[in-house]
A and B are shown apart, each in its own frame.
Chain A
């Protein structure tokens, strides 16, 4: 009964679309904008997630960290809350305690600082500088393109740096950087190697790695943040599950810090899973906000559809009267106008999907991300746009359905 006259309904819709091009275009504009926003966002969020996921899987899935205090947003070092202040910063002895465990392949105290790199007046943006040990690449992956990594003998504070290749390009262009003296945050260092980060490695904006220098070099030359910047990186042996390595590390640290049973830990452990969870809850929140914003666009679009459908119903009062005289029931008239509204919004939705995907592709291109087209969101958008037509078309369609045929036929 309802599917029977779908062709008539769609035919009428396309007809009125053809005759009122501008009006129809304005009607569906809101839906186009709303759907395009959701699609673009979905495609970007999908891109970010794919990137993070790949990074976690390929770069260093088993590496985990010990920090003084884990919070999702960086803490202000000047105003640390009490529960942080009572904890000592992580230190060499902590790292040593973990390193001694047979299940652990490597553990070391590292530090992160942020500075610009400079060579003969050319500067990079602020980049992340790792103060690490010679096993950095075993723990976090990556490849050495040229030169060498620093040797154990240089760990006591030699001013040497392994430069990340993109920063090197920025500073040197075609010149060979090996052996050149650059300045990192104003301190002179000699470039000894060229490093490429692992493919798919996830770097949040503003956290691109610029260089790796020996830990002692970093500790001596730069002020660093003992809460947000200092950490122990731990890589368990092949075949040891992260959860086990984590439990053992906690035990080892508690022993090293002489914590009695019942006393709380005075450190936090961060695994990749936690980082993944944090980031994915952040992207979800971001996505949620975008969905809420585009719902507003969709709502406005829906109200537009309703207004235009009201006009359309009034315009076609006589036609409605005629259709009723020819035997159309209320339900059939209702259906006809619902199909018309849904056809309009579906069209808007399809245009919105295409526009949104294009915008998403361009943005991802700009942000150097890769990911597939999120099919579920295209399907969702299609369904949602049809629903908008049905919901917002209901009131005008119902008005048409309830018209008195005699009155309608007499309408001028």
Chain B
């Protein structure tokens, strides 16, 4: 039990669409253990992003339950969810989502601002996180002074700075070329080797190949759940 970072049961998410309802997730059950590295795949519209939003506590399910580190989080208030996101979750987005006018360092400090960490400690921890992703020489650059791969590494450093129990990445290489994608995936593999629990959504089998487990969704349901020999 304590080993399970994520446990969702019969998870349902429906969206109202002009009188009708779109069922993005229709009863999904899934567990992810500590230090697992899971890739989520599936055709477009199968519910991958919907699932990631729920796992990241950005959204709440229409039905079913979600335990994050043993805590039931599917019925929490907005602000309680914000606290959970701040403490437990690190997000990496396809479009990086960095603050354009802030330096790499300040971008990475952001989650610590909302964690109420004092400015000196904030800086130290942000420097450490940037060093972890190999950007110690780019700390004072702004996003537009960085390459796509570097931007995504800043985003990864930002996701890590709060030492979250769960790192979520929705198509983190969607905007990157294949060489840079490989670079980013190497960073993920290193983090995984250091004990980080990671869930990555991707369309690319070559990206999914880095994970130890591949979960495939279809029409909002589990289609397959397999171990990846190559990565193990």
- A residues contacting B by CB (< 8 A) are 1, 4-5, 7-8, 15, 19, 318-319, 321-332, 405-406, 409
Contact = CB atoms under 8 A, between A and B. Distances in A.
Interface stretch (B33-41, B113-121, B124-132, B187-195): B113-121
A102 to B, nearest CB: 80
B129 to A, nearest CB: 13
A323 B110 CA distance: 8
A328 B114 contact: yes
Given A325-B91, A409-B97, 7 more contacts: A15-B102, A322-B110, A323-B114, A326-B86, A327-B83, A327-B85, A405-B59
B87 interface: yes
A137 to B, nearest CB: 71
20 contacts: A1-B116, A4-B116, A7-B119, A15-B101, A19-B101, A319-B99, A321-B97, A322-B97, A323-B114, A324-B58, A324-B85, A325-B56, A325-B91, A326-B114, A327-B86, A328-B82, A330-B79, A331-B79, A405-B58, A409-B97
Interface size on B, as a range, is: 20 to 34
Nearest to B155: A322
A205 to B, nearest CB: 55
B180 interface: no
Given A325-B56, A326-B85, A327-B82, A8 B113 contact: yes
Contacts of B78: 329-330
Nearest to B159: A326
A318 B94 CA distance: 13
Contacts of B87: 327
Interface in B59-86: 59, 78-79, 82-83, 85-86
Contact of A406 (B59, B79, B111, B158): B59
Of listed B83, B99, B102, B119, residue having the most chain A CB within 10 A: B99
Contacts of A329: 78-79, 82-83, 114
B53 A324 contact: no
Contacts of A326: 85-86, 91, 110-111, 114, 158
Interface in B86-112: 86-87, 91, 93, 97, 99, 101-102, 110-111
B82 A5 contact: no
B111 A327 contact: yes
Nearest to B96: A322
SS class of chain B's interface: helix, strand, loop or mixed? Answer: helix
A329 B110 CA distance: 13
Nearest to B59: A406
Interface of B: 53, 56, 58-59, 78-79, 82-83, 85-87, 91, 93, 97, 99, 101-102, 110-111, 113-116, 119, 158, 162
A338 to B, nearest CB: 16
B161 to A, nearest CB: 10
A327 B88 CA distance: 10
Nearest to A326: B111
B101 A406 contact: no
A327 B58 contact: no
A181 B113 CA distance: 85
Contacts of B115: 327
A15 B97 CA distance: 17
A340 to B, nearest CB: 14
A327 B87 CA distance: 8
Nearest to A322: B97
A327 B56 contact: no
Contact of A318 (B59, B79, B83, B97): B97
A406 B58 contact: yes
B110 A409 contact: no
Nearest to B90: A326
